[in-house]
Structure formats: structure tokens, C-alpha cells
Amino acid sequence: MNKVLKTINRIPLLPLAVAAVFMALAPFAPEPHLVEKSRMLLHGELVKPIDIFDLFWHSFLLLLLAIRLIILKMPVND
């Protein structure tokens, strides 16, 4: 697990943040997929495999960014 965290920690923060925001907001019209799929999840309508994949696809980089920021706040134990 430590090796995975070290690998994630090597990802440059700014490009990751830009990519995460871009993927979270894509497509920009008529509404972002992440908003649409989150609404479907809350209403219990997220049942098709393509919709589940779409939710994962558009939120993966946000999750990776959150992990990267958590690692950034952790004390260094080398």
C-alpha cells in the first residue's frame, strides 16, 4: 500500500487538479455527466452498466485528487 501512495504522491498537483475539474464538468452542455449520474444515484436510477461506468469515469480523477491532497497533509515518515 505504501508503494501505491508514493506513486500517487509523484503525480503533479496542478495538472491533476486541472484534469479532475475538466473531467468533473465534461460535457459542459446541457449538464455535466457527474451531476446527471449523481442525481441518478440519489434517485436509485443508476442501474445500467454504462451509467455506472460513466459515474466512475467522471469522478475517478476527483477521487485521485482527494487522495493526493490527503497524502500532502500527512506527516512525512521516510
Structural domains counted in the chain: 1
Q: Looking at the domain assignment, is residue 78 inside a domain?
A: no
Q: What is the predicted pLDDT for the residue at 28? A: 83
pLDDT given at position 29: 84
Residue reference for cell 503533479 = 12
Measure the CA–CA gap between 64 and 58, rounded to whole angstroms: 11
Q: What is the pLDDT of residue 33?
A: 85
**pLDDT score of 16:** 96
- Give the predicted TM-score (pTM) of the model: 0.80
What pLDDT is attached to residue 78? Answer: 54
In angstroms, the Cα distances linking 22 to 31, 45, 75 are 13, 25, 30
Q: Is residue 32 part of a domain?
A: yes
State the pLDDT at residue 30.
87
- Please check whether residue 56 lies inside any domain of the structure: yes
Low-confidence ranges of the chain (pLDDT < 50): none
Domain that holds residue 11: 2-73
pLDDT confidence of residue 72: 87
